[in-house]
Amino acid sequence: MSSALPTQIALTGDLASAVPPAPMSQVPMGQVIISFAESLIELPTFGELEALYQQDKIAAILKQVLQYFQTHRDTTEIPSQLGEFIFQKTVELEIYVTEPVEARAINFEARGKDYATNILSYASELPEAVLELLPALPLGELVICHAVVVSQAAEQGKTVEQHLTHLLVHGMLHLLGFDHELGQAEQDEMEAIEIAVLDKLSVANPYE
């Protein structure tokens, strides 16, 4: 996905100095790679935008998602094949932040929807045989349209950071194989996980 996108500047935040297998009793380490569309980088307000997408902030969100599944291993199954390895390896997540014109084009190409959406999730979908050999586990990529996030936050009476945090948790769950469009049971399960993780991040229930 990233290779097809226009020129980007990437920022890498690594919570681990190396990528050894994580002990089964511990939450996996997280590695976050963030890139921005060139048009956003050229904005005079890019510094403010960049501050919202700091690696340590997103890594903390990823850690809480992984912590949830570590805590609920006996009751909550990760649908994706990533679940076989997620407690054994460092987890890698890519994030690409863009603007409405490109977001609309990406959404149309990926889903046939002719509008800019808030977030798109691209799971890694590598075969288990490949995942087993990799030193780190590629979770996939999240493509975020920042302008849509800002607009939705205002409409919902939330701060941009609160809404972005919810969308990131939502997107990470999609990368792990959860899909609220499969049915009511799947939607209820996904929302319950989101609410629990967001509570740990001091973000109110977004569905109330």
Please state the φ and ψ torsions of residue 204, each to the nearest 5 degrees. Answer: -65, 160
d(CA 193, CA 27): 17
In this structure, are strands 30-37 and 90-98 parallel, antiparallel, or unpaired?
parallel
Neighbour count for residue 69 (Cβ, 10 Å): 20
Residue for token digits 């050894």?
20
pLDDT number for residue 41: 97
Half-sphere exposure of 57 (CA within 13 A, CB side): 13
Rounded to an integer, the average pLDDT of 102-130 is 93
Higher pLDDT, 132 or 23: 132
pLDDT-based confidence at 27, cuts 50/70/90?
Answer: low
The pLDDT score that the predictor gives to residue 26 is 55
Q: Is 170 annotated as a binding residue?
A: yes
DSSP state of 20: P
Mean per-residue pLDDT of the chain: 86
- Residue-level pLDDT at 183: 78
* pTM for the model: 0.85
Which tops the pLDDT comparison, 126 or 101? 101
pLDDT digits 0-9 by tens, 119-169: 999 998 888 889 889 988 999 999 999 999 999 999 999 999 999 999 999
In the block, which residue shows the tokens 């994706």?
80
Question: How far apart are the C-alpha atoms of 31 and 135, rounded to whole Å?
Answer: 12
Q: What is the pLDDT of residue 28?
A: 58
Eight-state DSSP code of residue 177? T
30-201 carries CATH number 3.30.420.40: no
Find out whether 163 is annotated in a ligand binding site.
no
Provide the Cα torsion 208, 60, 192, 202; round to 10°. Answer: -30
pLDDT at 29: 66
Query: Which has more pLDDT, 40 or 14?
Result: 40
Task: Provide the residue ranges of all domains of the chain, joining segments of one domain with +.
Answer: 30-201
Mean pLDDT for the stretch of residues 46-70? 94
Give the confidence band of 11 by pLDDT, cuts at 50, 70, 90. very low
